[in-house]
Amino acid sequence: MGVLNCTPDSFSDGNNDNLKALILRAKQMVLHGANVVDVGGESTRPNASPVDVQEELARVIPVVQALTERDIPVSIDTMKAEVMQKAIVAGARLVNDVSALTFDSNSLYVVADTGVDVCLMHMQGNVKTMQTNPHYDDVLSEVLFFFEQRIEACVQAGVQTSAMILDPGIGFGKRLEDNLNLIANINVIKKTFDMPVLLGASRKSFLGAMTNSEVHQREIETAVASTVGIFCGADMIRVHDCFEHHKTALVASKLADAKIL
């Protein structure tokens, strides 16, 4: 999954360039191995300011339409039901919601009624508060319990279990040790729910905390985290640099396939 931020304030590659430039970037992602391009119009970095619905729609819908017209598979990264609905009409095939469909009560029914796939991500707190002294007694158990609740809510709303993808939410209300615990134990999430798992570790601050590297110098760290995640069962990685991490995914997948136990 390639990250296409249509925002001016994302932590790594904030961008509100013109439509032509965004289309070109998406094409390059696909050329470099991306299977889906994740279009987002509201930053979810720590302490990011919220964006109103109309502004978010103006940022993402023309992009979703343009990419769909070019047969580029699109996911929509949003917490808002109206943005989901209009992006799906414009051609988005997947809803990627960092709130796991909790932010907007209507989002459950948008996903159920349209039948699109949905990625449910774990986050402690909200975008404004998530990195303010996050704490867990047992991060893996608490994330598993959260997924149990959200899967049940989705099923009750009419979402098919076959449409769900789980994302442990690396960097979203997590300490360094929490992120490491979750990546190293993705296999437990897989075994518990028998659902695909998405890993989004690209360029995140916990990587820099271990190597003292700046945001745009974390590709090696991202590759290591992604490799371990894939080896432990991740089905998709969400990355900024599709060229480098397509190769990461290929090698890591071969290693995972070679496991005997």
Cα–Cα distance, 27 to 29 (Å, whole number): 5
Phi, psi values for residue 5, rounded to 5°: -85, 115
Q: Is 238 a catalytic residue?
A: yes
Q: Is 259 a catalytic residue?
A: no
Q: Are 37 and 23 in contact (CB under 8 A)?
A: no
Q: Which of 25, 59, 174, 238 is catalytic?
A: 238
Cα–Cα distance, 69 to 53 (Å, whole number): 24
With a CB cutoff of 8 Å and minimum separation 6, the contacts of 209 are 176
Cα–Cα distance, 115 to 161 (Å, whole number): 11
Q: Which of 20, 204, 218, 247 is catalytic?
A: 204
Half-sphere exposure (CA, 13 Å, Cβ side) for 25? 21
Residues that are catalytic: 204, 238
